[in-house]
C-alpha cells in the first residue's frame, strides 16, 4: 500500500489522533469516505455537460462576423 509498512501507518494514525482528537476521527473518516465515493462516481460517469452551441448564439456570432 504505497510502500508504507505497518509502523508508518500506525505513526500516521497516532499523528491524526493527536491533531484531530479521537472524538472527531469517525467524522473525518466518514467525510473522507464520502469524498472518495463522489470522486470515483464523477470519474466513471459520462460527461453530462452539453457543449454544443445554441442556435441563438451561433446566429449572434454569424451576424457579428457579417457586420465586420
Q: What is the pLDDT of residue 57?
A: 67
The tens digit of pLDDT for each residue in 17-48 reads: 888 888 888 888 899 899 999 999 888 877 66
For residue 50, name the pLDDT band (cuts at 50, 70, 90). Answer: low
1 pLDDT more than 50:
no
With 0.95 as the threshold, say if the pTM is over it.
Answer: no
Per-residue buried b or exposed e for 26-44, using 16+ beta carbons within 10 Å of the residue's own CB: eeeeeeeeeeeeeeeeeee
How large is the C-alpha radius of gyration of the chain?
A: 25
Nearest 5 degrees, angle CA 6-CA 10-CA 16?
Answer: 145
Amino acid at each position: 500500500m504505497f510502500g508504507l509498512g505497518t509502523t508508518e501507518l500506525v505513526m500516521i494514525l497516532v499523528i491524526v489522533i493527536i491533531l484531530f482528537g479521537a472524538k472527531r476521527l469517525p467524522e473525518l473518516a466518514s467525510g473522507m469516505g464520502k469524498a472518495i465515493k463522489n470522486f470515483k462516481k464523477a470519474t466513471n460517469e459520462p460527461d453530462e455537460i452539453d457543449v454544443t452551441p445554441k442556435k441563438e448564439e451561433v446566429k449572434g456570432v454569424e451576424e457579428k462576423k457579417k457586420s465586420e
